Amino acid sequence: MTTLERDKRHILLAEDEALIALMEKQQLEKIGYSVIHASNAVAAIEEARRAEPPFDAILMDIDLGRGPDGTQAAAEILQAREVPIIFLSSHTEPEVVNRTEQITSYGYVVKNSGIVVLDASIKMALKLFNEKMERQASESRLMEAERSLRLSAEILGLLNGTLSLQETSKAILRLLKDRLDFDAVGIRLKDGDDFPYFSEEGFDPDFLHLENSLALRAENGVVCRDASGQICLHCTCGLVLMEKCGPASDMVTKAGSLWTNDALATLEALRGQDPRMSPRDRCSHDGFQSVALIPIRVHGEVIGLLHLNDKRKNRFTPELVEFFEGLTAYFGIAVERKNSESALRASEKRLRDLLGRRLEGGLDFGQATG
């Protein structure tokens, strides 16, 4: 499809009578539409299924000769994708019109009504369809916001609870995996010169064995560092942890998160200009299409990341990624607090042990101990 054709409304015309189809195609193209013709139901179904981008609308003749009729073709098309379908027919009987309305209700045009009527019907169908899509999107955003609010309350309860950091992170990942239906989720946290998985849910053992360590090492096992002394890290996780994702874009947020709804397409786009160090691409090789990497910070320093994977495309929205960024901000605070509490408990234990040994030894607390 040319650039000019992409700017036009793309219409599928299903009409079995060649002369009528040719005339309607020419009339529609004359007033600015891009038209593809299908001469029977099977061809119409195939054209509708493989069209990328999808057709803006379909003009469907009810009588399509031998084989399935237009109503059957429309029903099958609508099982695969949503698209406004306008029925064309010489029939005006109520039972025929009612049969089409049970399938879809974007219009019924009697043949030979003229191009003005047909154009107006297409425009009305497009308007109704766009309003429906906007309403569905609004309802979907509202449902997602409500779901996120409930999930946030549960996660905050866990973060403010008495569980250990390990137990808390496991419980949060189980919530994310189950409630949001992701295939695999994990949290990496800094441990010395590396960022191994601190906890995870759903990753294959082989994946974890190969992907657990991110530190790039020389043949002698020494961790590699760049000119500024920063640790060099493998693959896309390393890019996020080293804060080298670049400026905000469709894939990178202002907070430094990186996400994609089509990992293979992203890898293809990176070909020849890949900014990652030693990319392993195990996520895409294992079939994960939707991938999100959300940095975890404490006082501005990246100490880890939240890793979310799914084998289906289009699992993420900007709003959902923003929700995860809020979650990791709270998780960073919890990491600092729980580590401080753990350090305090360890210090108290050392003090109790010291006091216990002194009491057992009968030491005089008033004496200098040297």
φ/ψ of residue 193, rounded to 5:
-95, 15
Of residues 194, 192, 185, 29, the one with CA closest to residue 122 = 29
pTM here?
0.67
Tens digit of each residue's pLDDT (9 = 90 or more) over 273-292: 778 877 888 998 999 999 99
* For residue 37, pLDDT beyond 80: yes
Residue 355 — pLDDT band, cuts 50, 70, 90?
confident
* Distance between CA atoms of residues 119 and 178, nearest Å: 48
Of residues 71, 73, 38, 36, the one with CA closest to residue 53 = 36
Residue at which a domain ends, from 134, 150, 183: 134
* For residue 205, pLDDT beyond 90: yes
Domain contains 153 = no
Domain contains 290 = yes
Enclosing domain of residue 40: 3-134
Q: Are residues 193 and 229 in the same domain?
A: yes
* Distance between CA atoms of residues 74 and 47, nearest Å: 12
Prior bond of 53 cis (ω within 30°): yes
Split into its structural domains, the chain has a count of: 2
Domain contains 143 = no
Q: Are residues 242 and 296 in the same domain?
A: yes
Contact 216, 237 (CB under 8 A): no
* Distance between CA atoms of residues 100 and 325, nearest Å: 47
Q: Are residues 191 and 68 in the same domain?
A: no
Q: Are residues 179 and 304 in the same domain?
A: yes
Residue type, 291: V
CATH, residue 106? 3.40.50.2300
Q: Are residues 78 and 169 in the same domain?
A: no
- Provide the mean pLDDT of the chain: 88
Higher pLDDT, 296 or 143: 296
Q: Are residues 117 and 169 in the same domain?
A: no
Q: Are residues 127 and 184 in the same domain?
A: no
Q: Are residues 225 and 107 in the same domain?
A: no
Residue 6 — pLDDT band, cuts 50, 70, 90?
very low
- Residue position matching structure tokens 């002194």: 358
CATH, residue 273? 3.30.450.40
- Which pLDDT score, from 0 to 100, does residue 5 have? 45
Q: For 88, what's the count of Cα atoms within 13 Å in the CB-facing half-sphere?
A: 25
Residue 364 — pLDDT band, cuts 50, 70, 90?
low
The residues that bridge with 225 in the sheet, in sequence order, are: 231
Q: Are residues 318 and 192 in the same domain?
A: yes
Domain contains 366 = no
313-336 average pLDDT score: 93
* Distance between CA atoms of residues 167 and 193, nearest Å: 24
- Which pLDDT score, from 0 to 100, does residue 2 have? 45
* Distance between CA atoms of residues 226 and 243, nearest Å: 13
- Which pLDDT score, from 0 to 100, does residue 195 have? 96
Q: Are residues 327 and 221 in the same domain?
A: yes
Q: Are residues 275 and 343 in the same domain?
A: yes
Domain contains 270 = yes
Tens digit of each residue's pLDDT (9 = 90 or more) over 94-132: 777 777 777 877 888 888 889 999 999 999 999 999 999
